[in-house]
Chain A
Amino acid sequence: MGEMDTLKKEADGLKTQIETARKAVNDTTMAAVASGVAAAPRIQLKNRKTLKGHLAKIYGLHWSADNRHMVSASQDGKLLIWDTYTGNKVYAVPLKSSWVMSCSMAPSGNLVASGGLDNMCTIVNIKAASPKTIRELDAHEGYLSHSRFLNDSEILTASGDTTCCLWDLETGKQKVVYKSHVGDCMCLAMSPDQNTFISGACDSSAKLWDIRDGGCKQTFIGHTSDINAIAFFPSGTAIITGSDDCTLKMYDLRADQEVNGYQDAALNAGVTSVSLSSSGRLVFAGYDNFNCNIWDSLKAEKVGVLSGHDNRVSCIGVPDDGLGICTGSWDSFLKIWN
C-alpha cells in the first residue's frame, strides 16, 4: 500500500475515533437540560441612536474597551470613530484602499486596524496630532477578513489565504502563523483569558487555537456552509458560530461538540454577524435579510427581533459593559439599541 493510501486510512480511522468519543459523552441535549429553566422574557429593544456619516456599505464595527467609543469601516473608504453617547464623530481616518472588510480598536483606544481586499492590515494611531499610519502588515496572500488587538504591540488577523496570524507591531513582522483551515478564514474571536482564540472559515469548520504556540487544539464541524461569524460565550467554555447555512450553533469546548442549534424553517438568509449579551443568555445575530434576530442561548427559541435597517446587517457588537447593542448595515447606518 502506498504512503498516501496508508495516511488516508489512518486519517479516516482517527475521524471515526473522534466521532465515537464525542458520541460517548453525548448523554443528553441542552434542550432537555434547559427545560427546567424559566423562558427568557420577550426582548423589545428600542433604537436609541442612529449614527449617520458613512456614504456606502458598512462592513465592520468594534466597540472600544471604554464602552463609549466605537470604530466603524465602510467601503466609502473611511474609518469613523464615534462617541456613541452623543452620536458625534470624533475622528475620521481616510483609507488608502476603500475595499475594507473589517476594523478593530485596541483595548487602549490608541490604535485602530483595518484591512480588506488589499490583503493588508493597516494600523493607525488615532491619538497622534492627526491620525497617523504606523504599520502596514503585509504578508497575507489573501484578503483580510478580520482582526483583533491583544494590546498595543500585538494583533491577530484572519485571511482569505486560509491562515490566521499573530503580528508583532514593533517590527511589523508575523510572530505566529496558524495553519489548518482549508478554506478562507472569515472571522476570529479571542477567549476572555487571551490564551486561545477561535476562527471560522469557508471550509464550514471552526477551530480553537493556542495563541502562543500556534497549534490547533480542536476542530468543530456540522455547519454546511461558510462560517461568517464567531463569538465566545462569556464563560470562555463555549463558542457560537453563524453561517451562510442560515443557522447558528453553540459548541461546548470541554464536550468537544455541538450542544445547541439556532434555526427556523422560515429563515433562509445567511448569518453575517453574532454577539452575546453579558450573561450569555441572549444571542444577537445579524442576517442577510436586513434583520437581527435575538435568540435564547439555552432554549434555542427566538425571543426578539431588531428591525430598522434597509439593507443587510453586516456587523454587530455589544460593548464590554453590556449596556447596549450596535448593528451596522449595508444601508450605511449604525444603530444602537437597548
Chain B
Amino acid sequence: MSSKMQSSNNIAHARRTVQQLRIEASIERIKVSKASADLMHYCGEHAKYDPLLMGIPASENPFKDKKPCTIL
C-alpha cells in the first residue's frame, strides 16, 4: 500500500473514531444510586421464582434421576 493511501486510511479511521465518540458522549446517564437500586429491586421481585436460588423440590426436578423405592 502506498504511504499516501495508508495515511488517508488512518485519517478515515480517525474520523470514524471521533464520530463514534461524539455519539457516545451525547447519551443521557442516570445516577449509579438509581441504577443499583433498580437492579436490586429486580432481583428482589424475581427471587422467589428463581429455582437455582430457592432450590427445587425433588418432585419438580426434571433432571433428578428417579430411582425406584423399596418399601422394607
Interface residues of chain A, those whose CB is within 8 Å of chain B, are 3-4, 7-8, 10-11, 14-15, 17-18, 21-22, 24-30, 33-34, 37, 40-41, 43, 45, 48-49, 68, 84-85, 180, 215-219, 233-235, 237-238, 252, 254-257, 259, 277-282, 297-298, 318, 321-325, 336, 338
The 0/1 profile, CB within 8 Å of A marked 1, for residues 39-72 of chain B is: 1101111110111110010000111110000000
Q: How far is the CA of A25 from the CA of B36 in the complex (A)?
A: 12
Which residue of the partner chain B has the closest CB to A235?
B42
Chain B residues within 8 Å of A282, by CB = 50, 52-53
Which B residues touch A34, using CB under 8 A?
Answer: 36, 40
Task: Determine the chain A residues whose CB is within 8 A of the CB of B53 once the complex forms.
Answer: 40-41, 43, 277, 279, 281-282
Closest to A10 in B: B18
Residues of A within 8 A of B35 (CB): 237-238, 252, 254-255, 259
- Is B21 part of the contact surface with A, judged by Cβ < 8 Å? yes
User: Complex Cα distance A14/B14, Å?
Assistant: 13
Contact: B36 with A30, CB < 8 Å? yes
Residue ID in chain A nearest B61 by CB atoms: A338
Within 18-45 of B, Cβ neighbours of A (below 8 Å) are at 18, 20-25, 27, 29-40, 42-45
Q: Looking at chain A's contact residues, is the secondary structure mostly helix, strand, loop, or mixed? A: loop
Q: Is the CB of B63 within 8 A of A324?
A: yes
Are B39 and A21 touching (Cβ within 8 A)? no
**B38 closest partner in A (C-beta):** A237
Contacts of B15 in A (CB 8 A): 7
Given that A10-B18, A85-B62, A322-B52 are contacting pairs, would A279 and B47 also be in contact in the complex, using a CB cutoff of 8 Å? Answer: yes
B-side contacts of A25, CB under 8 Å = 29-32
Interface residues on B, range: 35 or more
CA distance A24 to B27 in the complex (A): 13
B10 and A235 contact, CB distance less than 8 A: no
Give the complex CA separation of A215 and B23 in angstroms. Answer: 9
Known: A14-B25, A322-B51. A33 touches B36 (CB 8 A): yes
Interface assignment of B3: CB less than 8 Å from any CB of chain A: no
Find chain B residues with CB under 8 A from A68 CB: 62
A338-B56 contact in complex given A18-B21, A219-B24, A235-B42, C-beta closer than 8 Å:
yes
Q: What residues of chain B lie closer than 8 Å to A338, measured between beta carbons?
A: 51-52, 56, 61, 63
- Can you list 7 residue pairs at the A/B interface with Cβ under 8 Å? A7-B18, A14-B22, A14-B25, A217-B27, A219-B20, A277-B50, A279-B49
Q: What's the Cα separation between A22 and B61 when bound, in Å? A: 44
A252 contact from B39, B56, B63, Cβ within 8 A: B39
